Chains A and B, each alone.
Chain A
Amino acid sequence: DAGVIQSPRHEVTEMGQEVTLRCKPISGHNSLFWYRQTMMRGLELLIYFNNNVPIDDSGMPEDRFSAKMPNASFSTLKIQPSEPRDSAVYFCACNKGGPHEQYFGPGTRLTVT
Chain B
Amino acid sequence: AQTVTQSQPEMSVQEAETVTLSCTYDTSESNYYLFWYKQPPSRQMILVIRQEAYKQQNATENRFSVNFQKAAKSFSLKISDSQLGDTAMYFCAPAGKSTFGDGTTLTVKP
CB-contacts of A92-113 with B (<8 A): 93, 95, 98-104, 106-107
Q: Chain A: interface secondary structure?
A: strand
Contact A100:B96 (CB < 8 A) given known A43-B103, A91-B45, A107-B43: yes
CB-contacts of B33-51 with A (<8 A): 33, 35, 37, 43-47, 50
**B103 closest partner in A (C-beta):** A42
Q: Chain B: interface secondary structure?
A: loop
Number of residues on chain A facing chain B (CB within 8 A): 20
Alpha-carbon distance A43/B47, docked complex (angstroms): 15
CB atoms of A33 and B98 under 8 A apart: yes
A49 to chain B: which residues have CB within 8 Å?
A: none
Q: Does B15 contact A (CB under 8 A)?
A: no
CB atoms of A95 and B45 under 8 A apart: no
B95 to chain A: which residues have CB within 8 Å?
A: 99
A104 to chain B: which residues have CB within 8 Å?
A: 37, 44-46
Alpha-carbon distance A6/B102, docked complex (angstroms): 23
Interface positions of A (Cβ within 8 A of B) = 33, 42-43, 45, 48, 56, 59, 89, 91, 93, 95, 98-104, 106-107
A-B contact sample (9 more), CB < 8 A, given A42-B102, A93-B45, A99-B31:
A42-B100, A43-B91, A48-B97, A99-B32, A99-B33, A100-B96, A101-B33, A102-B45, A106-B43
13 A–B contact pairs at CB < 8 A?
A33-B98, A43-B91, A45-B98, A48-B98, A93-B45, A99-B95, A99-B96, A99-B97, A100-B33, A100-B96, A101-B35, A104-B46, A106-B44
